[in-house]
Amino acid sequence: MVSFVATPIGNLKDITLRALEELREADVIFCEDTRHTLKLLTAYGIKKPLLSCHKFNEREAAEKMISLSREGKRVAVVSDAGMPVISDPGREVCRILKEAGEGYTVLPGANAALSALVLSAFSADRFTFLGFLPDKKGDRRALLEEYAHARETLVFHSAPQDVDRDIADMAEVLGDRPACAVREITKIHEESAEFRLAEGLAGEKRGEYVLVVAGAEGEKNPLCILSPREHVQAYLDEGLDKKEALKRAARDRGVPKSALYKETLDL
């Protein structure tokens, strides 16, 4: 059996009893960075063989996991912090395990995005987690434009060197909104700083950030009362091409274009 195990995002005490039990009983542990995981294991007196599973070798790692699991070995998969797969390596591994019919399970635990959402005090009734924004400016803007009219809270991850860049693009595409930058979650210097997108975030940027942004306000486009198909057709009737019509309708409804694509294939 293969188990995906959540690990602490800062404070080493934030690990579940079940996770510790799984790591102690595992025959082998696949990890993002062996040096990082070794620190966690050492803190709890655990000694196990460590193998790498990072974004450049997921297929190779998955095939090894399948082989070991079918030999009756107990396999644990961890990332440097938090839940594997969520803005961390592991998605490709899950896909390959599924295709191979190899069962796997999840041991839940610490999560930076959810912790930041609570610390921000923004609405958590509905939210969208978008992870790290793309490196290319055009791709960043395209992604942000898909959610420009979404009314739910938006949650992003951002590396310290990208925070100012990401906030500037958010301000340009989403407009001036309340936002909250959360860093050092669970650590001594945990910080939750409110700001507005147009003003940017003051101070030197250190550590990994979670950026929480308020959803769009105001009334939805009247076309949103139509079905998705009728909504797109209305824009086609105005003379827009299909790509732009899908983009506009998705923006109006606060959903990705892919959510409307299947319903409008024959338009």
Domain ranges of the chain: 2-107, 112-213, 222-264
Indicate the CATH number of 112-213 among 1.10.10.10, 3.30.950.10, 3.40.50.1950, 3.40.50.2300: 3.30.950.10
Number of other residues whose CB lies within 10 A of the CB of residue 237: 9
Q: What is the pLDDT of residues 17-74, one digit of tens each?
A: 999 999 999 999 999 999 999 999 999 999 999 999 999 999 999 999 999 999 999 9
Nearest partner of 105 among 75, 150, 79, 72, judged by Cα:
75
Residues 256, 262: Cα–Cα separation, whole Å: 12
Torsion angles phi and psi, residue 76, rounded to 5: -115, 145
Rounded to an integer, the average pLDDT of 223-239 is 84
Domain 2-107: top CATH class:
alpha beta
Cβ proximity of 73 and 30 under 8 Å: no
Give first-to-last CA distance, the chain, whole Å.
46
Mean pLDDT across the chain, nearest whole number?
Answer: 93
| Dist CA 15 CA 20 (whole Å) | 7
Same fold, 2-107 and 112-213: no
- DSSP secondary structure of 177-199: -EEEEEESTTSTT-EEEEEETTT
Instruction: Decide the pairing of beta strands 2-5 and 127-132.
Output: unpaired
Q: pLDDT tens across 91-134, in order?
A: 999 999 999 999 999 999 999 999 999 999 999 999 999 999 99
Which pLDDT belongs to residue 262?
A: 76
- Rounded to two decimals, the pTM is 0.81
